[in-house]
């Protein structure tokens, strides 16, 4: 029984490590024919690695108990599985994954911030292979759960500068700035450098000398975003908060 369990583990380990390597190569070089659902494959192999860690630890202990020798090959496999799982959690966060049928979120859905290009023009793949079309979801903008419009006691032009600094800190290049400088678009990414999501930040005057900020993040795909747009919105707001804090500290 133990021998059979070890063989099954070994085969799954080879499959998982192979999946990690192919997923990395595909993400790095954008090998994505016909809109292949690469993100789903990446998550599948990460989950498989997590399951093998849970199963592999007792397997090592049983081997040690029976033979007083450590199964170094299994231990090495467990270490290999841990690396991408920890990296993924740091970059994305396991708790951020969701399967809601949406890929476009905004802090305001009453008056939605607009991109300079349409959703269709921004798509990575305008023609998806028929095999993957069942993954497509309706084109709609959802309210970012738990995040509302941001009100600041800073005038719009200064707010625009802080927004631009936050984008620089994140390494997200600006792609378009409105004529008045109060609508800023950027290319955001959280896992792979070339796996880009569109971000737009709208800054409006609020009262006397204040600003109202709304943020919208929209995938360049027609399928579920697996939570990525909400991760992007939160990351941007966190970095904007840091820039605001720096600005206030400099004034004191």
**What is the reported pTM?**
0.86
Q: Where are the domains of the chain?
A: 2-91, 104-251
| Helix, strand, coil percent values for the chain (each to nearest 5) | 50, 15, 35
How far apart are the C-alpha atoms of 27 and 87, rounded to whole Å? 15
pLDDT per residue as tens, the chain (252 positions):
778 888 889 999 999 999 888 877 776 665 555 677 888 888 899 889 999 999 999 999 988 888 877 788 889 999 999 998 898 888 888 889 999 999 999 999 999 999 999 999 998 877 888 888 888 999 999 999 999 999 999 999 999 999 999 999 999 999 999 877 789 999 998 876 567 899 999 999 998 899 999 999 999 988 999 999 999 999 999 999 999 999 988 876
E strand intervals along the chain? 104-106, 142-143, 150-152, 174-177, 183-188, 197-206, 210-219
Given CATH 3.30.530.50, say whether it is the number of domain 104-251. yes
DSSP secondary structure code for residue 92 in this structure: T
């Amino acid at each position: 029984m133990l021998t059979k369990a070890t063989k099954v583990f070994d085969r799954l380990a080879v499959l998982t490590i192979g999946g990690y390597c192919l997923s990395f190569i595909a993400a790095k070089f954008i090998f994505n024919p016909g809109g292949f659902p690469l993100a789903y494959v990446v998550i599948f192999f990460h989950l498989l690695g997590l399951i093998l860690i849970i199963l592999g630890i007792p397997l090592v202990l049983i081997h040690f108990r029976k033979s007083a020798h450590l199964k170094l090959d299994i231990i090495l496999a467990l270490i290999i599985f841990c690396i991408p799982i920890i990296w993924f959690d740091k970059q994305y966060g396991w708790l951020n994954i969701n399967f809601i049928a949406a890929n476009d979120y905004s802090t305001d859905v009453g008056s939605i911030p607009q991109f300079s290009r349409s959703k269709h023009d921004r798509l990575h793949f305008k023609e998806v292979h028929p095999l993957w079309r069942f993954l497509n979801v309706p084109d709609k903008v959802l309210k970012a759960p738990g995040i509302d419009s941001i009100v600041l006691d800073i005038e719009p032009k200064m707010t625009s500068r802080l927004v631009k600094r936050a984008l620089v800190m994140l390494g997200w290049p600006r792609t378009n700035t409105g004529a008045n400088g109060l609508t800023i678009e950027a290319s955001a990414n959280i896992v792979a450098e070339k796996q880009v999501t569109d971000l737009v930040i709208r800054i409006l005057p609020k009262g006397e000398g204040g600003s109202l900020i709304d943020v919208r993040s929209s995938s360049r795909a027609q399928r579920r975003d697996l939570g990525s747009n909400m991760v992007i919105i939160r990351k941007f707001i966190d970095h904007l908060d840091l820039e605001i804090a720096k600005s206030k500290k400099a004034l004191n």
